[in-house]
Structure 1
Amino acid sequence: TAWNLGAGPERFRGRTDLPLDATGEAQAERVGRRLASVEIAAIYASPLQRARQTVAPLAERLGLPVQTHEGLFDINYGLWQGLTHAEAATAYPELHRLWRTRPDRVRFPGGESLADVRDRLRALLGQLAEVHPGQTVVLVGHQIVNKVLVCALLDLELDQIGRIGQDPAALNVFEQQPDRWDLTSLNDCCHLVGVRRAATADHQGS
């Protein structure tokens, strides 16, 4: 989007309903081509248009509807939403430093914490396990949401999200086992050659 790094000063996007820019649209087409041959039972996306637009080409190729789920909503940054990192650091210096060092301890003023995001993602996973046993499902979220989801599936503490790379339009693949989730692919960007946009400069993302 226009608020991503490389398209201008990166801002805390959160619940701001931004459309994809030309780069994002090109990436979405690549995602559609990459996954077109996979047997997919259902597609779920965040209600925000940038997530729905990202998966629209795939949904069209497969003839599947894009089902929206609030569990995949981007994190609610509250009063930080729309701010650049520099603006957040000026207005909330201590909290911004904590976000960069111990994001798991941060609750955004008027917004969510990472634990809140994890709770709603776990609820979503429970629902999907009942509705789609043994099936392949596509989930389309947002950078922070995806990082939290990786932590939740691998039983990692939330202070580890800064160690997880998540580029725009990258793919993560998990396989469910009887007692755990196995990660088979993380931040796969092979389909984005020539249209890849760098991830956030801040290791926690926005």
Structure 2
Amino acid sequence: MTRIVLVRHGQTAWNLGSAGGEHFRGQEDVPLNDLGLAQARATAERVRTWPIAAVYGSPLRRAYNTAEIIAQAVGRIARPLPGLLDIHYGRWAGRSVEEVAREEPDLFRQWMEAPHTVTIPGGESLAAVQARAMAALDEVRSRHPDQMVLLVGHQVVNRVILCTILGIGLEAFWRVGQETCCINVFHYRDGVPYVDLINDTCHLAHVAQGG
């Protein structure tokens, strides 16, 4: 039985509460801030004794550094997995949510109300993210049958993966919470995914929590 531990990266300066409000991060390579590093260390302590056979992370620094911190705690070496990259936000990348909402109100409203119908100009759709993320997940499962594997991704890619394995469709994208450095766990039995844990942040109780 393959078990997947899916983690979101720690906080960055472009998350809520800093750098002039939340920004569309996407594939912009924003590093962890001090809180994000503390969250990653707390997550590493949470899983230190788990029988994790391998650790993979999105190649973007905020996710890969989180993966490296966790990998060190469990005696593994983090490996990059491009399929876990965050969504490409196209012309929204690097802009604040407030700016996009003000300057492109119709498309922003569509993104908030029906995200599965949106392809941001120059960027990706959720369906495109789904295709590469699920292909990456299949690759991990084939490499590690009957093992526990930890993956570090991003808010968007994690939500897409969870919507897919839950069978609830990408229209439910906003209904799946993913806080920074949350833990999700699911396993496969006879090829069918079963979810054990979603958006768990109890290990972050002693550190400040960010968006």
Asked if TM exceeds 0.5, the reply is yes
**1:179 Cα shift?**
4.1
Residues matched between the structures, number: 199
TM-score norm. by structure 1 comes to 0.93
Aligned mate of 1:14, from 23, 26, 33 = 26
* Aligned pairs (5 A) from 1:70-149: 70-149=82-161
Partner SS state of residue 52, structure 2: coil
2:182 partner letter: A
% identical aligned pairs: 42
1:96 Cα offset (Å): 0.3
Greater relative contact order (Cα < 8 A, sep 6+): 2
Counterpart in 2 of 1:29? 41
Aligned-residue CA RMSD in angstroms? 1.1
> Displacement, 1:62?
2.1
Please give the alpha-carbon distance, in whole angstroms, between the structure 2 residues aligned to 1:143 and 1:67: 19
Gaps of 5+ in 2: 1-11
| 2:16 aligned with 1:5 | yes
Shift in CA distance, 196/143, structure 1 to aligned 2, threshold 3 Å: farther
**Structure 1 runs (4+) greater than 2 angstroms displaced:** 196-199
Q: What CA deviation, in whole Å up to 9, does each residue of 1:158-191 have, x standing for no partner? A: 0101111110000000011114211111100010
Name whichever structure is richer in strand by fraction: 2
Q: Distance in 2 between matches of 1:26 and 1:99?
A: 31
Report what 2:51 is aligned to: 39
